[in-house]
Structure 1
Amino acid sequence: MDGLNLLLITAATLGFVHTALGPDHYLPFIALSKARNWSQTKTLWLTFIGGVGHISGSVVLGILGVALGISVHKLEAIEAHRGNLVGWMLIAFGFFYSVYGIYKYLKNGGHNHLPHFMIPKKIRELHHLPLTDEEQNKEDNTRLTPWILFLIFVFGPCEVLIPLLMYPAAEHNVFGVIAVTVIFGAGTILTMLAVVFLGYKGSSLIKIRNREKYLHLVAGVIILIAGLGVQFWGW
């Protein structure tokens, strides 16, 4: 087996492993798909687009690094900085989405057992009716959330990709650089799609009455935990 074939097998393996072991690659999509009632097709498309953005950021950095003669050590330091940044971005997104989830919980009748003084005046003045099944199942078409996810994934680093690109680049093997990128990207994106698909299907089996009250808060907490995992627990 020649060096390039071994490198491609390594790229495919690392694409799968680094994605499967990184819950931040798929938990946000699963959580938001249920909270915002995205269809399976929309969820998978957004996952695919997020995966492409995730890979593209590191590929561009690697190619620029090769072109400018930047060492692997320096590129890895840049990737580590990007990882730190994306961790804080996930934490911020998860925190603010949790706050939004609390608002939705209160707005949709979750305040019944709270002390009067803890309920915002605007919500106290609202008169609520129970949500119908059609209202609960209505898809949320807000465009901001997918764009925020995409931006976070563009900043998300693929630390293991940089060293893989350096070997064929050092040999001036353009085909090798392209092949490693495609194989690693395919391994990463297909793993993301597979896990999100399984998570989507599995969560669909859980029936929660009046789920509109809870799911935004749950999604925010899950994203917040994913961000904490990236920032402090080495995900």
Structure 2
Amino acid sequence: MPPPDTMYCSQQIHVPPELADILKQYTKAAIRTQPKDLLLWSAAYFSALSQGEALPVKERLELNVATQKTDSGLTPGLLKVLHKQLSPGRTCSKEELEKRWGGLCLPMEQLEKLLALGNFSSDVDWMQFLALGCSSLGGTIVSAMKFACEILTEDDQGGPARIPFDTFTSLYTFLASLDGEIPQDHVAGFLQGLQEEANKQGGMIQVSNFYFVGNEV
């Protein structure tokens, strides 16, 4: 006969005091992030938590992005999560990017297309990859730059979404070079006009400075 089930009383069961808060924070993170594969995302979440790394967690619950060209799964919120995880270094390895991307349950075929489009080697220039990610969210270079400003800004949500003009110039120039249909003199003239606005704002640029003019680019 199998041995009888061991009976425990509440006094015999030790519950780690930090367990309740860990589970509470995990649950809130899962609700905000809405991962497509909860188990896969949970593994990435607790791995990052145990190593003191940036968590694969959105800052807030997102609505569907109506401007996305395809339902790739990538959203501004997820791209911002990747930025927090991978931006401390100027570059990241493809392996690290694949790990973080997979932890957010994003489709690997989408990642492969972005890597091929940027012609990246074993090391990935993170800001250039971010620009490509923004481009995949919007149908135009202007929409891509709007997403970039909103992801990179340190302003509060709903604020002007300011970023350094040098950062804007680097991302915009990179995307324009990949586009191949924007004349160089047009790019130079557009950036020169924005430089004047940035000089008035301490070297910062914001969405309202370029969005209307940018629709002509």
The two structures have a TM-score, normalised by structure 1, of 0.22
Q: Structure 1 or 2: larger helix share?
A: 1
With CA pairs under 8 Å and 6+ residues apart, which has the higher RCO, 1 or 2? Answer: 1
The two structures have a TM-score, normalised by structure 2, of 0.23
Q: Structure 1 or 2: larger strand share?
A: 2
